[in-house]
Amino acid sequence: MLLLIRQTLQEAAYLCDTADAVGRPGKCKFGNYSEWEFDLKLGCPNTPWAESKTLKKYGMRRICDDFFGFDWFCNMGAYWMCDDGLARNAEQIHKVQMNSVFPNLHDVNNASVAKKLRNAVRSSLDGMPHDIRKKYSAKSIRKGMITEIFMSSFITLF
């Protein structure tokens, strides 16, 4: 998930967006700018997270992380500024993907998006033995974030 030289800023944004939302692989594809808002009470952006099967949307408040490599704002900002994340070509405009956060993911199915995330995770493990690298996939992002949440002293049974 760290911004590595080998990974593109777009891959880092996929990973960070999915990890920050504790989302299932492939769901970052449904992000839409028209649904984003700023929560004045909490002082942070709310970027709803959508479920494709149930059509449910959940509020997803974004807060700063202590380390910039895991910070959603840093990764998304780098994607927007340096990797043309806000640019749309004529085909994407024609397909009405102007407000899509990751418009290039709409051309592939959810399983392919999960494969892209898996490849990004595994490519960040260069130097590790092949059998260890194969143990990690896009699902590892969700498992790791759930573990991190449970380790927080603020989380209780209720």
pLDDT tens string 60-117: 889 888 888 888 999 999 999 988 889 999 999 999 999 999 998 888 887 888 888 8
* 45 phi/psi in degrees, rounded to 5: -75, 150
Whole-number pLDDT of residue 40: 92
Q: Is residue 90 part of a domain?
A: yes
Q: Is residue 155 part of a domain?
A: no
Q: Is residue 4 part of a domain?
A: no
Q: What is the mean pLDDT of residues 147-154?
A: 79
Whole-number pLDDT of residue 27: 82
Whole-number pLDDT of residue 5: 45
List, as one string, the DSSP characters of 100-124.
BSSGGGGGS-HHHHHHHHHHHHHHT
**What is the domain extent for residue 58?**
9-150
**How many independent structural domains does the chain possess?**
1
Does residue 23 have a pLDDT over 60?
Answer: yes
Q: Is residue 158 part of a domain?
A: no
Residues of the chain with pLDDT > 70, as a percent, come to: 94
- Nearest Cα residue to 110 out of 53, 35, 47: 53
- What confidence tier does 1 reach under pLDDT thresholds 50, 70, 90? very low
